[in-house]
Every structure is written in C-alpha cells, then in structure tokens.
Amino acid sequence: MSPTLTVANWKMNGNRRFWSELTQSLKSEIQYIETNMVLCAPSAAFYDVSRALEGATNMALAAQDIHAEDSGAHTGDTSAEMAKDFGAKFTLVGHSERRMEHFEKGDVLKAKFKQALNHDLHPILCFGESLEDKKNDQTLTVLDGQLSEVLDGVEVLDGDAFSLAYEPVWAISSSAGSLGREPSEDELTQVFEFVRQKMVEKFGETVGNSIKLLYGGSVKADNVAKIISNRYIAGVLVGGASLKAESFLAIARAVAAKPN
C-alpha cells in the first residue's frame, strides 16, 4: 500500500451519471499522483463506480458502512460480502454520522470491524470527540474509550490490516456546534501521539507503528497542506470537498507531496 491514503466520503450524494463522471475524472488524473485514492460510495453507486474503476491501479472502492452480520433480515443494510462482490477493498466503520444518527457504539462497531477483517476488507475506523467533550477537557478520555471498545481483543499481524481516522466532531462544518476550524498543530500532535502510543501498546512496536493514522474534519484544498504536514498523519478523509474532481485532486496532490 502507498505511504498515504486520500479517502473520499461521498455520503448520501449523487446519482448514476454523477458517480460515473466523477470517478472517470479522478481516474484520468490519479495515475500521475503518488497516493492511494479510496472512494467511499453509497451502496447504490457500487455498480457504476466499480465499472468506472476498471484498470485503475491506485484507486479503490469502499463501503460507507457494513452490517455486523453476514446476512439476514436487515432491511436497508449492506453486508461485507455484498460490498466485496462489487470490488470494494475498504469500508468505513464508526463514522461520526453513524454514531450520532444511528447510535452506533461498542459491541456493534466491534462486530462490524471484525466482519470487515474476516472478509478481507480494510476497515477505516473513525473516532473523535464532540464539542462538549472538548470543552470539558475529555478529549483523550473519550478517544481512549472509542478505540478500546472496538480494538480490545482484536489481533492483527500487519499494520496494513486497518487504518484509523480521527474526525473531531467540533471541526466538521456540517455538524451542530462546529467551531468552524480544523485542530491546531498542537491539538493534532497531542491526539496523534496518544493514538500512536496506544496502538503500540495494543499491537506491539512493528504493527502499532505501521498503522496508518488519518485526519478527517472539513478537509479542503486550502488547509490540507497544513494538516498533512503533521508527522503522524498519513492521509485524509474528505467529505464535501471530494464531490468535485478539481478540489479532491488538489487534496490528493497535497497528500502525495507529504515528505517521507
């Protein structure tokens, strides 16, 4: 896997023409950019995106969510097997909108995470504190709980098995109570130093130090260079700015330019 990841989360946006045209536009340029691009598409887009991705070498389809079980009476849900059958290589787990709108936490997220690993999907585990948590100086306590409830008891032998995406809810422009800014360099370093040490404690030096740590929270073309310059950050998870090829490619170029 490339040293960096540039991940798009299209959320519940687009239609068949939009998905196909956007994927083709990205595909025509990403071959010249040294980062792995991941497209978290709505399940309705899987067919069109997977077709448009044919022949791409550094792009991959991802699910925005998978169910915790293989199959069953779960109307409206998508299984890991379904996503993989369309060519998905990745899936998000525990995105802030799933946590807030669908009340996902604890055992549910752990089951989804394990389901992804069992089906050879690379889970990108999202975590982050709310504005209230931040105001109460509970950031690290909350993050510790969010990571532990999913990762405790999980065994992996390779740091490329999964990635972690820190998305502070207070920095997401579409979230209620947003501060309208990304974290400062000091805030990012405090969080990512803590997370890196936690991964080393859980999985050992070799695996813990090779797990990719991503940042997500209103990433845009005009702030990504500052974000990606943090020594711990190996990629970004992008929302609204990933819906236009020009802005998302600008972000990908900035990520690819990160010094080794």
Tens-level pLDDT at each residue, the chain (260 residues):
568 999 999 999 999 999 999 999 999 999 999 999 999 999 999 999 999 999 999 999 999 999 999 999 999 999 999 999 999 999 999 999 999 999 999 999 999 999 999 999 999 999 999 999 999 999 999 999 999 999 999 999 999 999 999 999 988 866 555 666 789 999 999 999 999 999 999 999 999 999 999 999 889 999 999 999 999 999 999 999 999 999 999 999 999 999 87
54 is a catalytic site residue:
no
* CATH number of the domain residue 163 falls in: 3.20.20.70
Q: How many domains does the chain have?
A: 1
pLDDT confidence of residue 78:
97
Q: Domain range spanning residue 139?
A: 5-256
**238 neighbors 6 (Cβ within 8 angstroms):** yes
Catalytic site residue from 67, 95, 104, 182: 95
Using H for helix, E for strand and C for coil, what is the string for 52-108?
Answer: HCCCCCCEEEEECCCCCCCCCCCCCCCCHHHHHHCCEEEEEECCHHHHHHCCCCHHH
Say whether 201 is catalytic.
no
Q: What per-residue confidence (pLDDT) applies to 182? A: 83
pLDDT value of position 257: 95
Write down the catalytic residue from 104, 129, 167, 182: 167
Residues forming a β-bridge with 242: none
Q: What pLDDT does 177 receive?
A: 57
